[in-house]
Amino acid sequence: MRIATWNVNSVTARLPRLLAWLESAKPDVVCLQELKCATDAFPGEQVAELGYEAAAYGTGRWNGVAILSRVGIEDVRRGLIDEPVYEDASEPRAIGATCDGVRVWSVYVPNGREPGHEHYAYKLRWLEALRGTVISESDGARPFAVLGDFNIAPTDEDVWDISLFTESTHVTDAERKALAVLREAGLSDVLPRALKYDKPYTYWDYRQLAFPKNNGMRIDLVYADAKFAGSVTDAYVDREERKGKGASDHAPVVVDLTV
């Protein structure tokens, strides 16, 4: 099975590239983030023409998540257990589904904006709700993984220049501790073990020639239980999809496994 995650930074703007990528990469399951479209505006008919069922969750603002599957999609859940709200609203940042016996969650973790901001506190509360959902659902009976844009670089090596982030989100101790708590709940960061090259960044800012200079970050992650992680045979960051006109600022992350 081939499972991918991709922050498309607007599924409407990226639709031609998404459809072309689905045809070329041939993933069985795709977790999408930052749809920037409402649930009923998701291009389900277009992806269905390529054989994919879709479960989407969005409001039309800057967030939104979806799961595409060509191997079936069941037990869809929108939102986390005990998910917090921000400014009195529940944001569409997580969707779970079972695809051919594999339980996956597509997550778009809040950015946090800056340490001390209320959005940063919301980010930490949201990650705690993610931990609770993981504990509730990852029972070891089926492969389980959380994939998506975590907006956290797990280590200093996952940022092109850590000295530039001393007062920024994405690298703070509290955020990284939240990832450590996920590991304590039985999940592991799949990519470092599976990728075969250095600096597998997944995000590059549009500004200051960040992509040509490889000034990136690894913030699109695959956190999986032992049954999922033990089945992984290969993984890659599709840097080619970050190139050219109209690209997202994130590249797809692809994982192959024998389940």
To the query of whether residue 170 is one of the catalytic residues in this protein, the response is no
User: Which member of 52, 108, 201, 236 is catalytic?
Assistant: 108
Cα torsion angle, 184, 185, 187, 189, sign: negative
User: Which member of 223, 225, 236, 250 is catalytic?
Assistant: 250
Residue 198 counted as an annotated binding residue: no
Q: Where are the beta strands (DSSP E) in the chain?
A: 2-7, 29-33, 53-57, 65-69, 74-78, 94-99, 102-108, 144-149, 188-189, 203-204, 216-217, 220-224, 232-237, 253-257
Total length of the chain: 259
Identify the burial level of 129 via C-beta atoms within 10 angstroms of its C-beta, where 0-12 means exposed, 13-18 middle and 19 or more buried: middle
Which stretch of DSSP H or E encloses residue 18?
helix 15-25
Residue 249 counted as an annotated binding residue: yes
What type of residue sits at position 7? N
The pair of three-digit structure tokens given for residue 38, joined into one six-digit string: 């409402």
To the query of whether residue 234 is one of the catalytic residues in this protein, the response is no
Residue 111 counted as an annotated binding residue: no
Q: To which residue do tokens 């006109």 refer? A: 245
Give SS3 for 214.
Answer: coil
Most distant CA pair in the chain, distance: 47
Residue 250 counted as an annotated binding residue: yes
Residue 215 counted as an annotated binding residue: no
User: Which member of 149, 158, 220, 225 is catalytic?
Assistant: 149
Residue 241 counted as an annotated binding residue: no
To the query of whether residue 108 is one of the catalytic residues in this protein, the response is yes
Whole-number Å distance between alpha carbons of 2 and 67:
13
For residue 146, give Cα distances in angstroms to 33, 61, 87, 222. 12, 23, 26, 6
- Catalytic annotation, residues: 108, 149, 250
**Binding site membership for Mg(2+): which residues?**
7, 34, 149, 151, 249-250
